[in-house]
Amino acid sequence: MRLGLDIGGTKVDAVALGDDLEVLGRARVASGFGPEQVVANAEAAARQAAEVAAAAGATPLESVGIGIPGIVDAEAGVVRHAVNLGLEQLELARHLEQRLGAPVRVENDVNAASLGAYHLLGLDGSMAYLNLGTGVAAGFVNDGAVWRGARGTAGEIGHIPVDPTGVICGCGQVGCLETVAGGGWVARKWGGDAALPLVDLFDSADAGDERALALRAELFEGAAAGVRILILTADVETVVIGGGVANLGARLIDAVRDRLDELARVSPFLSSLELSARVRLVPLDRPVAAIGAALAGTVPETEASWRS
Amino acid sequence: MRLGLDIGGTKVDAVALGDDLEVLGRARVASGFGPEQVVANAEAAARQAAEVAAAAGATPLESVGIGIPGIVDAEAGVVRHAVNLGLEQLELARHLEQRLGAPVRVENDVNAASLGAYHLLGLDGSMAYLNLGTGVAAGFVNDGAVWRGARGTAGEIGHIPVDPTGVICGCGQVGCLETVAGGGWVARKWGGDAALPLVDLFDSADAGDERALALRAELFEGAAAGVRILILTADVETVVIGGGVANLGARLIDAVRDRLDELARVSPFLSSLELSARVRLVPLDRPVAAIGAALAGTVPETEASWRS
């Protein structure tokens, strides 16, 4: 049995995974803030999920994988910088190995979700996971393993400017992809106090609200731009869209494919790349990030990167 | 001795390479147009370069590599589509193997130049070669071999739009990177009848011409954008700038580095990626594309791609 912990800004989602990606146990607790709380809460979530799995007859614990937002040194098992959780240079793997008695691997949350999406969709070859979350970033998986790039920063496409006339991004540049396709930015631009700002945005657009239509079109354009950047630059076979914005489901993916088809109609070059056929939505009914974290826990020592 | 043929739109540049990338023989002939001329002229250039090398005591011919613009099926040795040379589905490798009696490999011209740049600069790990030629495209090299992507189209970043308020690109989209950083577009926008339009542009900018200053700034911005796209997406260790525009030398590379440093000053995130330190200029005093073609002729059967 393998444990996967998806440690988010507010909650930890823990799954105990059996064979064939079957979830045998699950638990959710608050993430906490600062190293003591985050470690303690992660341990609690792990134990709870493991207990449920044991009651269901799961095999003994083999490994633990963690997906966490921020700058992660996967080789060292160290969370170097995670502002939302109040963590700096936390040796998360070592702490949890001591408490849980199994090997622990730590992975950036987007990379973990990438692994989850890849395996849940039964993909092979190369894939980029385009995370439209609060921010925008991509993770790469090739032949089943996370692919990091030379310095571990592959996929930071949220900070590629796409509109020189756009807004100033948190990173300091103007018109970054994240400012038009990131859930945080879109929600902030839309405003209001709906519990689900993007659903409210889409409902308003469907009802004909001009401002909503414009903002939503910008989001579709941005998502399509992200797919285009990933395929034209890295030529991955598949791009899977995930993250909070992806919970919009068909309302998002159909429109993104329509936009890619529209571009293909004006550009024979783009048409030859079959962009809309190569983009998919993450499965919305599975805990993709937590399952991916569990898979990250079992990654062999030799990982895919430019250097291997 | 290995032969390398850089078949361009107007001329073939042939080099006979000894050990340590030493050029032992060289020849230049017109490329010709259409399959019969292109094959015959390539053979003539190859023989001329080989003769010079033989007279200099080179070892017997081992392999032939060709770099050619257009859509190339490297595995099959077929030039599927090269408009400027009037070629469609030409089995170039087979024809030249029959005439020259040595194994022949055919590679896209940007990929060939990428190999040349990588080895001439003594690089290791991962590199993207940003070709600022008539158009804009990139080639990837990792651990000494060309890296193609899933469908062989990795690096087509010239058709990533960077300015939604820009001009309509030949590919049908608006504001592609190629329209601001490609030599063809920049020369066309500048106009005039100078023999070297970009030199004329840079000289006019240095003299304070407003239109020249604006166009040149757009080129610098575009080149910097290309470097940023390659590193943020694919996280290559090094980006080498080459192609006709690169012949501007320090006038180009110094300004591109300055622009990247300027961006780093407004963005701690970009600053952490050390973009300006990771960009280099191709050696201007060597026949990079022809040498790269010769190296492409010796590539082992197992090449780097997403699938390996």
Domain edges within chain A: 2-114, 122-281
Contact call for residues B252 and B223 (beta carbons, < 8 A): yes
Cβ-nearest to B234 among A142, A149, A161: A149
* B304 pLDDT higher than 60: no
What is the sign, positive or negative, of the torsion defined by CA atoms of A82, A88, A93, A99?
negative
**Which pLDDT tens digit goes with each residue over B270-281?**
999 999 999 999
What 3-state class would DSSP assign to A131? strand
Q: Distance between CA atoms of A237 and A150, rounded to whole angstroms?
A: 21
Please write down the HEC assignment for all residues of chain B.
CEEEEEECCCEEEEEEECHHHCEEEEEEEECCCCHHHHHHHHHHHHHHHHHHHHHCCCCCCCEEEEEECCEEECCCCEEEEEHHHCEEEECHHHHHHHHHCCCEEEEEHHHHHHHHHHHHCCCCCEEEEEEECCCEEEEEEECCEEECCCCCCCCCHHHCECCCCCCECCCCCECEHHHHHCHHHHHHHHCCCCCCHHHHHHHHHHCCCHHHHHHHHHHHHHHHHHHHHHHHHHCCCEEEEECHHHHHCHHHHHHHHHHHHHHHHHCHHHHHHCCHHHEEECCCCCCHHHHHHHHHCCCCCCCCCCCC
pLDDT at residue A146 in the model: 93
Q: Distance between CA atoms of A13 and A116, rounded to whole angstroms?
A: 14
Q: Which amino acid type is present at position A23?
A: V
Q: pLDDT band at A12, cuts 50/70/90?
A: very high
pLDDT at residue A305 in the model: 52
Helices (H), A19-100: 35-55, 92-100
Candidates B271, B306, B308: best to mutate against A (most CBs of A within 10 A) is B306
Judged by a CB distance cut-off of 8 A, whether residue B108 touches chain A is: no
Select the more confidently predicted residue: B81 or B207. Answer: B207
Residue A71's H or E segment, with its range, is strand A71-73
- Nearest-Cα distance to chain A for B27, in Å, is 35
Contacts of A269 in chain B (CB under 8 A): 159, 171-172
Taking alpha carbons only, the member of A152, A155, A150 closest to residue A131 is A155
* B307 pLDDT higher than 50: no
Contacts of B261 in chain A (CB under 8 A): none
Judged by a CB distance cut-off of 8 A, whether residue B149 touches chain A is: yes
Domain A122-281 -> CATH class: alpha beta
With pLDDT > 70 as the criterion, what percentage of chain A qualifies? 97
Mean pLDDT, residues A84-104: 96
Cβ pair A234:B229 closer than 8 A: no
Chain B (229-258) residues lying within 8 Å, Cβ to Cβ, of chain A: 229-230, 232-237
Q: Distance between CA atoms of A29 and A44, rounded to whole angstroms?
A: 8
pLDDT at residue A113 in the model: 98
Measured N-to-C along each axis, helices A250-266 and A210-234 cross at an angle, to the nearest 10 degrees, of 70
pLDDT at residue A302 in the model: 43
Q: Distance between CA atoms of B283 and B119, rounded to whole angstroms?
A: 11
Contact call for residues B110 and B127 (beta carbons, < 8 A): no
Radius of gyration of chain A (CA): 19
Cβ pair B162:A157 closer than 8 A: no
How many Å separate Cα B283 from the centre of its chain?
A: 12
- Nearest-Cα distance to chain A for B165, in Å, is 9
Mean pLDDT, residues B2-17: 97
Cβ-nearest to B154 among A229, A235, A269: A235
Q: Distance between CA atoms of B147 and B141, rounded to whole angstroms?
A: 5
Judged by a CB distance cut-off of 8 A, whether residue B277 touches chain A is: no
Q: Distance between CA atoms of B84 and B150, rounded to whole angstroms?
A: 26
Give the ipTM: 0.94
**Main-chain phi, psi angles of B97, to 5 degrees:** -60, -40
Cβ pair A235:B153 closer than 8 A: yes
With pLDDT > 90 as the criterion, what percentage of chain B qualifies? 93
pLDDT at residue B212 in the model: 98
Mean pLDDT, residues B230-256: 98
**Which pLDDT tens digit goes with each residue over A146-167?**
999 999 999 999 999 999 999 9
What is the sign, positive or negative, of the torsion defined by CA atoms of B85, B89, B90, B93?
positive
Mean pLDDT, residues B133-153: 94
DSSP state of A282: P
The string of DSSP letters for A73-87 reads ETTTTEEEEEGGGTE
pLDDT at residue A99 in the model: 97
Q: Distance between CA atoms of B110 and B146, rounded to whole angstroms?
A: 10
Cβ-nearest to A160 among B148, B156, B232: B232
pLDDT at residue B19 in the model: 85
Judged by a CB distance cut-off of 8 A, whether residue B69 touches chain A is: no
Contact call for residues B110 and B104 (beta carbons, < 8 A): no
Tokens standing for A135?
A: 């921010």
With pLDDT > 90 as the criterion, what percentage of chain A qualifies? 93
Q: pLDDT band at B110, cuts 50/70/90?
A: very high
Q: Distance between CA atoms of A40 and A78, rounded to whole angstroms?
A: 16
CA distance readout (Å), B173 to A264, B19, B156: 9, 45, 14
pLDDT at residue A20 in the model: 85
**Which residue in chain B has the smallest CA separation from A233?**
B155
**Which residue in chain A has the smallest CA separation from B151?**
A235
Q: Distance between CA atoms of B197 and B100, rounded to whole angstroms?
A: 39
Q: Distance between CA atoms of B77 and B181, rounded to whole angstroms?
A: 30
**Which residue in chain A has the smallest CA separation from B139?**
A233
pLDDT at residue A308 in the model: 37
Could you tell me the fold of the domain covering B2-114? Nucleotidyltransferase; domain 5 (3.30.420)
* A168 pLDDT higher than 70: yes
Between A and B, how many CB-CB pairs are < 8 A? Answer: 141
